[in-house]
Chain A
Amino acid sequence: MTRSIKLVGVGGQGTILAAKVLCDALINAGYDVKMSEIHGMSQRGGSVSSEIRFGDEVYSPVIEKGKADVLIAFELMEAERALDYLSKDGLLIVNNHKINSMVTLNGKVPYPEGIVEDLKSKVNTVVVNASDEAIALGNAKVMNIMMLGALVNADDLHTLDIEQSIENTVKEKFISLNKQAFQKGKEL
């Protein structure tokens, strides 16, 4: 059976690195893996997503709407935006963190309130304060790997050797910090 995990966030939050680590761990666990991203205009601050599919033999690299088993959202509004990709029985893991868009910064429209409540009312939702915890660890950037900790904790992926994949993927001087972030994520 093929399973689908979609990671969404805002450009610069490290969705691509998190997806890379996760893919590496899935490959090492013997799965066939496909991953998909859309590249295009090199702009900062836009919505970004990575799609991972794994199983015995994977065909489509793209996740259809309503078919993701897990949606990992690095940002609140991005969780809502991608919600139609998640299966009704799926799992949403969302980082309790807001990133303004240009239109909310400019004061043209407010950043929407009540997103967490809205998400919880619709689907099995795990809310984690990964951005706050990452800052407490000393580097806001490791939020992405912390979210992988939350993933293996909440889903049946605890057999994955994420720590090994952090070693395989992350720059040497950040390995130990990212491992701490991963462990912290498992506790959230």
Chain B
Amino acid sequence: MKKLLTGNEAIARGAYEAGVHFASAYPGTPSTEILENIGTYKEIIAEWAPNEKVALETVIGASIAGGRALAAMKHVGVNVAADPLFTFAYTGVNGGAVLISADEPGMHSSQNEQDNRNYAKFAKIPMLEPSTSQEAKDMVIAAFELSERFDTIVMIRLTTRVCHSKSMVSLNERKKVTPKVYEKDFNKYVAVPAIGRQLRHKVEERLTKLKAYTNDSDLNYSVNNSKQEGVIVSGMAYQFAREALGDTVDYLKLGFTHPLPKDTIDTFCQSHDKVYIIEENDPYIEEFAKQLGHHVVGKDIFPYSGELTPDVIRRAVLSENIENLEVNKDKIVNRPPTFCSGCPHRGFFYELGKKRRKIIVAGDIGCYSLAVGQPYDMMDWLICMGAAYSTGHGAQTITDLKPDDDRRLVSVMGDSTFFHTGINSLLNTVYNGGKTINIILDNRITGMTGQQDNPGSGYKLQGETAQIGDIEAICKALGIKHVRKINPNDLKEVKATINWALELDEMSVIITNWPCVLKKRYKEEDFETYKDMWQTQDMVMQDTCTGCKACLRSGCPSLVFDKEKGKMSIDRTTCVGCDVCLQICPYDAIVKAGDAA
């Protein structure tokens, strides 16, 4: 049977058909749907981990114990997981192990554009690169066979367009794989220096075998159109190149891209007058080919950044420009991303914004990154997951050295980021006697990537209920003296708490606790904790509204200004009654819809 699947769905299907027993991931665009889809197969145990390092480590354990296991993450997640990856590359596997890295040429939803093919070379592990959903599925199955045959974790490198585009995939049955026997093997798995020195040679021997194998791999193949010009290409760039150049060139399509096939590339280069290397991001294949002494054309004509879509390739190779219809800029207005109506971050940032001159805001990655824009202007920097507390601490240390600067560092991150790596950073501030103000915007879910459960949400990936990580208790257990948990929709409480923290000369933690308006699953007790959650609406008393627009400083998309009447109103289809605008209105013109007389 054939089905139209995204690359991510196809990876999940591949895991199912390969007989995978265990999979783990931390959500991150464009990789998130891989584990969500694996979770739909009840034959596989699929778990969200609090971060990518933990995800890969659970997979390592599962592999050593004899299971087939897969970890999935976005490109920057591999940075977090790099530590276990590099040593697992030494020990090798028992059951097959596969790491999926989803890269982002063009940075649609990421902070950088790093090319994770470099990781395969760096860690000395084999790498496969699919260009369609069918290849994505087939390569997962091939990766597990390679993993067990060559005793190594295998990396599959995807890019956004492979992850999120759909193409036809043939479905097969699940292979029945019984977990292998685990026998204690000190010389293989205990990477103390003495053993590490032995394993180091094993890695090199493995690499030599892989270098021979990659030349024979049918994942590397050529498309012969009997032309003098050739293109060496991998991943989605292959589909883009074929679209742009059609049958006017020959292709060497590489699917097994670490180690690269030296002999195959030599032969292809020698049999063509001119060879282009078309690859997104770094000149990974190009440098290899040049090292072999071939005169190839690569990043001298193709951009080093962004996606190499067919138009980009046409422009570079054929100097061809397509004339477009012109968009009349006067006829469009942006639809900027913003906090949803009822978003629990709104009230907090509204109040914090009033302290703008007294504070520096260390930001982090999540929905609250949107506070960087108007009307909040609430972020001085954003680096990586979990960095708000630690960068804040470092910045406070230096700020305090300046006699004329008494600004306080306010570090903001969400619950999922806190569980990810924020805990470590917060512990550092406690330990070193810092005095930052640390915010945990606890909306009880991983919001930005689309409602994934986490250790604070009360549910696991495959639907079972879970223990709820108690953020307040964790903070107290870390040794933090000043911890307050507040309702971010209560502006008086928010304001008083921010003032309280600013007056302290020691570190503090403020936990703003209210569920994301999009959160789908609740426990019974949640309905008591979060009273009348989303059950009400606010409205504007037209007689009382002066049209002063003070409420717009909340940045709520439900607020509508009627220019003719000069008055505000509230969109009844989107308002969920969070009352933030109601509390901001200086004329008490906004009331609960049910209370209107």
Contact = CB atoms under 8 A, between A and B. Distances in A.
B57 interface: no
B549 A107 contact: yes
A112 B164 contact: no
Given A77-B332, A112-B330, A88 B325 contact: yes
B331 A80 contact: yes
B165 interface: yes
Contact of B4 (A33, A66, A106): A33
A34 B167 contact: yes
Nearest to A60: B243
Contact of A103 (B30, B323, B334, B337): B334
A64 B561 CA distance: 38
A40 B335 CA distance: 15
B145 to A, nearest CB: 27
Contacts of B309: 60, 62, 64
B325 A46 contact: no
B325 A123 contact: yes
A61 interface: yes
Lowest 10 CB-CB distances: which A-B pairs, in order?
A: A107-B561, A61-B165, A60-B243, A40-B109, A66-B322, A36-B165, A84-B324, A42-B450, A59-B243, A101-B335
A67 interface: yes
Interface in A12-65: 23-24, 27, 32-47, 58-62, 64-65
Nearest to B555: A102
Contacts of B335: 10, 45-47, 101-102
A49 B242 CA distance: 24
A66 B367 CA distance: 34
Contacts of A104: 333
Contacts of A27: 2, 4, 168
A28 B96 CA distance: 37
B337 A41 contact: yes
Contact of A42 (B161, B311, B338, B448): B448
Interface stretch (A114-122, A126-134, A141-149, A155-163): A114-122
B443 interface: no
A167 B309 CA distance: 35
B336 A59 contact: no
B327 interface: yes
Interface string B161-173: 1001111100000
Contacts of B560: 100, 105-106
Contact of A23 (B4, B239, B331, B337): B4
8 contacts: A35-B167, A44-B557, A45-B335, A59-B240, A61-B167, A105-B561, A107-B561, A115-B331
Interface of A: 10, 23-24, 27, 32-47, 58-62, 64-67, 77, 80-81, 83-86, 88, 100-107, 109-112, 114-115, 118, 122-123
Given A32-B168, A61-B161, A80 B447 contact: no
B559 A105 contact: yes
Interface string B501-533: 000000000000000001000000000000000
Nearest to B165: A61
B264 interface: no
B449 interface: yes
B545 interface: no
A100 B337 CA distance: 14
Contacts of B337: 41, 43, 46
Contact of A65 (B30, B324, B563): B324
Max chain A C-beta neighbours (<10 A), residue from B4, B166, B330: B166
Nearest to A88: B325
A112 B334 CA distance: 11
Nearest to A104: B333
A80 B280 CA distance: 30
A42 B240 contact: no
Given A38-B160, A62-B309, A103 B167 contact: no
B200 interface: no
Interface in B209-257: 239-240, 242-244
Nearest to B2: A27
Contact of B322 (A58, A67, A105): A67
Max chain A C-beta neighbours (<10 A), residue from B242, B307, B311: B311
A111 B108 CA distance: 27
Nearest to A23: B4
Contacts of B352: none
Given A35-B165, A64-B310, A80-B332, 8 more contacts: A33-B167, A34-B167, A35-B166, A42-B450, A62-B161, A80-B327, A102-B336, A107-B562
A174 B2 CA distance: 26
Interface string B397-431: 00000000000000000000000000000000000
Nearest to B160: A38
B331 A114 contact: yes
B123 interface: no
Interface string B540-573: 0000000001001000010111110000000100
Contact of B164 (A37, A66, A81, A109): A37
Max chain A C-beta neighbours (<10 A), residue from B32, B332, B449, B563: B332
B256 to A, nearest CB: 21
Contacts of A46: 335, 337
Contacts of B549: 106-107
A61 B338 contact: no
A64 to B, nearest CB: 4
Contact of B326 (A45, A84, A105): A84
A67 B160 CA distance: 21
Contacts of B367: 41
B370 to A, nearest CB: 8
A34 B166 contact: yes
